Amino acid sequence: MAIADAKKRKIGIHLIDWIHLGIRTGARRSVEEYRRLAATDPVQAEGHLARACNMPMRARATINAIMARYGSANGAGTAVAYLGQCLALTGTSITVADLNVDLTAMENFCNGLIDDKIAGTKTLDEIAAAIEAQVEWEALDWSPPIDFSQVDRW
């Protein structure tokens, strides 16, 4: 695999791992932090909930930055075509359109929660419950194996 293809594959993996799946886990972890801190530090707790609601917009900003940096400057014609090439090299069937549909749905959901917060129609606990009900964990049944028998030499 050429260096250019390796870079494209890395970008594709990043798109899938962090943006496609990671925003869900990040949102759920932020809600857990909100629940943990709500009674003792409400200001910090609300910050975690705000982070959960802003995850999809952060992901969209990251996609736009990737497109601006690696898109047409790399000879792919358009940034979307470049992202498509990156995703194709990961060996999955996920396309740019799939990412966009999922991300748009998450953005709409979270923007609705933000609007409810601003309008005062939902409490912070109701927003947290909505995220817990709607946003699934990335992967509850998998975690990277850790070899605890490894002993560092230094």
Give the domain range for residue 87.
3-134
What pLDDT shows up at residue 41? 95
Global pTM reads 0.78
Which among 88, 69, 61, 67 has a CA at the least distance from the CA of 79? 67
Are 31 and 48 in contact by the 8 Å Cβ rule? The answer is yes
Which among 16, 22, 3, 138 has a CA at the least distance from the CA of 66? 16
What single string gives the DSSP state of each residue in 11-35? HHHHIIIIIIIIHHHHHHHHHHHHH
Which among 107, 111, 105, 103 has a CA at the least distance from the CA of 127? 111
CA distance 131 to 127: 6
Any idea which residue has 């707790």 for tokens? Answer: 45
The answer to the question of residue 116 being in a domain is: yes
Mind listing the pLDDT tens digit for each residue in 94-142? 888 888 888 899 999 999 999 999 999 999 999 999 999 988 766 555 5
* DSSP H or E run through 139: none
For CA atoms 150, 141, 17, 113, the dihedral sign is: negative
The answer to the question of residue 141 being in a domain is: no
User: Number of structural domains, the chain?
Assistant: 1
The answer to the question of residue 80 being in a domain is: yes
Residue 143: pLDDT band with limits 50, 70, 90: low
The answer to the question of residue 76 being in a domain is: yes
25-29, 59-63, 72-76 — which is least confidently predicted? 72-76
